[in-house]
């Protein structure tokens, strides 16, 4: 669940994306200090070099540069890579509220334009969305957004929504129902994105993100409530989020154990003395820096930072099928 740093002032995505539901607005893109294209922000390389690795990051608001561009872990990852002498562009395609189905669809649309060398999916917190919507536009705007048909392919948006349950759960209707099939849906999308990386000759890394109430910080709820001083209605939403995590995460952790390319980060802060969370899934600036170091260590362990030269015919081979 995407509950942001100030629970009374959420980030709003008011521009419609007929495939994915919502996206950055033109104003948000123009106001960002980072250049953008293909609905992604580019943290560009500042080291003179002949070859540059493109690292694509997808996910929800915990990786989103719109939420707070100064504390986002992809920013610290790029800083770390530059400090260590790597020539990299970190391309942030994460958008608040997106689940793995939206990540997958966005990847299909933009992978041949972005041409990543490494793709990192940082996800998990949004897979059981069903009790709240993430974009904070008005109810009237939501009704317009989710009933507008594409003038090019009028039924495509509806049909994809039925398959990937994009809109049915994101129309502002509160429900206590959870999707018991969510772990398998997440696994399916991880497998799909990994298959695309194999076809196009780049590397895919799935990361199951840490959340409050799971793993090393299972009992940190009181600490977060004291630190954040939530209003009563936000406290209830927080409790509801934790209940959903307890339904999704046990099976998701098992999926990580069975797939070498998906990594369980639920205990990544196990050695830290305090809770890293200021709500159910977002972490403080200090811990975003630690998280970036952990992701960097993972890339080193997996030996993914050596310069690669993808096959020139990889794109043609995949998209001609």
Q: What kind of fold does domain 15-319 have according to CATH? A: Rossmann fold (3.40.50)
DSSP state for residue 9 in the 8-state scheme: S
d(CA 70, CA 18): 30
Kindly give the confidence (pLDDT) of every residue in the chain, 321 residues in length, as a single tens digit, with 9 standing for 90 and above. Answer: 333 333 333 556 778 888 888 888 888 888 888 888 898 999 988 777 778 999 999 999 899 988 666 689 999 999 999 999 999 999 999 998 899 999 999 999 999 999 999 999 999 999 985 433 333 333 333 334 444 444 444 444 444 554 444 444 433 333 445 555 889 999 999 999 999 999 999 999 999 999 988 987 776 666 776 666 554 445 667 778 888 899 999 999 999 999 999 999 999 999 888 888 888 888 989 999 999 999 999 999 999 997 543 333 333 433 343
Distance CA 204, CA 301 (A): 14
Q: Return the axis-axis angle of helices 100-114 and 182-200, rounded to nearest 10°.
A: 10
| Stated pTM of the model | 0.79
* CA-closest candidate to residue 74, choices 56, 95, 98, 47: 56
Encoded tokens for 183: 């772990």
Alpha helix segments (H runs only) across 94-209:
100-114, 139-145, 156-164, 182-200
Domain map (residue ranges) of the chain? 15-319
């Amino acid at each position: 669940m995407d509950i942001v740093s100030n629970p009374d002032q959420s980030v709003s995505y008011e521009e419609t994306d007929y495939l994915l539901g919502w996206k950055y607005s033109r104003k948000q893109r123009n106001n960002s200090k980072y250049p953008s294209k293909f609905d992604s922000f580019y943290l560009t390389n500042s080291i003179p070099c002949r070859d540059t690795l493109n690292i694509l990051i997808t996910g929800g608001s915990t990786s989103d540069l719109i939420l707070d561009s100064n504390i986002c872990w992809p920013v610290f990852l790029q800083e770390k890579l530059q400090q260590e002498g790597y020539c990299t562009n970190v391309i942030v395609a994460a958008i608040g509220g997106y689940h793995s189905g939206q990540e997958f669809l966005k990847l299909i649309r933009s992978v041949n334009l972005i041409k990543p060398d490494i793709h990192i999916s940082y996800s998990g917190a949004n897979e059981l969305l069903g009790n709240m919507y993430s974009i904070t536009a008005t109810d009237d705007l939501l009704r317009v957004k989710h009933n507008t048909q594409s003038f090019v392919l009028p039924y495509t948006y509806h049909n994809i929504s039925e398959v990937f349950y994009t809109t049915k759960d994101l129309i502002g209707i509160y429900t206590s129902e959870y999707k018991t099939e969510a772990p398998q849906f997440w696994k399916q999308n991880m497998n799909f994105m990994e298959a695309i990386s194999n076809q196009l000759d780049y590397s895919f890394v799935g990361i199951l993100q840490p959340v409050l109430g799971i793993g090393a910080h299972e009992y940190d709820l009181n600490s977060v409530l004291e630190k954040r001083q939530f209003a009563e209605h936000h406290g209830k939403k927080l409790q509801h989020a934790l209940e959903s995590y307890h339904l999704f995460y046990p099976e998701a952790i098992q999926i990580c154990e069975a797939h070498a390319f998906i990594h369980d980060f639920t205990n990544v802060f196990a050695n830290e003395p305090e809770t890293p969370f200021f709500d159910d899934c977002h972490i403080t600036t200090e811990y975003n820096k630690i998280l970036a170091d952990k992701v960097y260590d993972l890339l080193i362990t997996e030996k993914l930072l050596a310069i690669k030269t993808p096959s020139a015919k990889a794109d043609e081979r995949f998209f001609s099928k």
